[in-house]
Amino acid sequence: MEDRRGQSSSPFGGGLPIPMGKAGGGIGGLILIVVLALVFGGNITGGGSSGPLDTGGVDDPVPQQSPDAGSSSSSGGSDADNTFEFAKFVSQDTQDMWTQVFQDAGKTYTRAPVVTFTSGTMSGCGPASAQTGPFYCPADHKVYLDLSFFRELSRRFGAPGDFAAAYVIAHEIGHHVQSELGIESAIRQKQQEDPGRANVYSVQLELQADCFAGVWGKSTANRGLLDPGDIDEGLKAAAAVGDDRLGARSREQWTHGSSELRVQWFRTGYDAGNPSDCDTSNVEI
């Protein structure tokens, strides 16, 4: 974790709102099933293992806790500190899972630093503000989380609950997985070759990140870390940030997919528990 909370931000403008997951400026689909099938052969979600995977990751260790932990003031910390600790736990647990997945496939997973900030910060993809929303920057391979967004997720988007926030974080880590697999760079090339379908490709990529978030969600369920209603919180968050819900005037303006599609692909990842089922290359908008 890179905790930049309280640091002064550079004097840049308000930025463009990015609804959960913009991966470096709108990249997308291609034939994903081939890559996924080659890398991930079987079910990888642990099938009922007793706790978070311990793979010796680079993040600071945190105590095992439910994905619900972190927002309650019962721990004695401030809401801001609890939100930070919750984001820290989810970031580590998600990347622990992907580290194990890659190890099982004979590959090495390089963990993404997760930057938490308030007000604004600089990234390898340019300036980010509170209006930017959570995002992954492929230029520096970091996930950026404005912690105030999680309050907005409840108040503005009508998606309360800790697992709703966990879904957002797991989605952004999913973009890093795409980068690690080479999908992101291959798709950027495809988008350049076929600019008329640039938005379709962007939607396909975002939906795959939703599916990857669902795969992680299944791993937490298998380890007994979920409370009743947690998955419903994740599904509600996915629906809240669909392009149609956020006011895109036409399908040609979509970059992330409709509420229905986002829910569908999160559910696909959760039900299957296997990233090889996260082939979104045939999705059309």
Helix (H) or strand (E) holding 126: strand 126-129
User: What's the pTM value of the predicted model, to 2 decimals?
Assistant: 0.76
Number of domains, the chain: 1
Distance (Å) of CA 44 to CA 183, 205, 219, 246? 20, 21, 8, 34
CB-based contact 94:170 (threshold 8 Å): yes
User: Mean pLDDT in each 10-residue stretch from start to end of the chain (285 residues)?
Assistant: 71 40 37 44 35 28 38 50 90 97 95 92 88 89 89 66 87 96 86 89 91 95 88 78 57 70 93 94 84
Q: Does any domain span residue 51?
A: no
Q: Does any domain span residue 121?
A: yes
Residue 246 CA, distance from chain mean position: 18
Q: Does any domain span residue 282?
A: no
Q: Which amino acid is at 156?
A: R
Q: Does any domain span residue 118?
A: yes
- Structure tokens given for 168: 């957002």
Residue 223 DSSP label: T
Distance (Å) of CA 276 to CA 89, 144, 261, 264? 25, 26, 18, 16
Q: Does any domain span residue 266?
A: yes
- Residue 122: its pLDDT value, please? 92
Helix (H) or strand (E) holding 241: none
d(C-alpha 29, C-alpha 106), whole Å: 25
Q: Does any domain span residue 244?
A: yes
- Residue 91: its pLDDT value, please? 96
CB-based contact 36:279 (threshold 8 Å): yes
Range of the domain at 184: 2-40+60-277
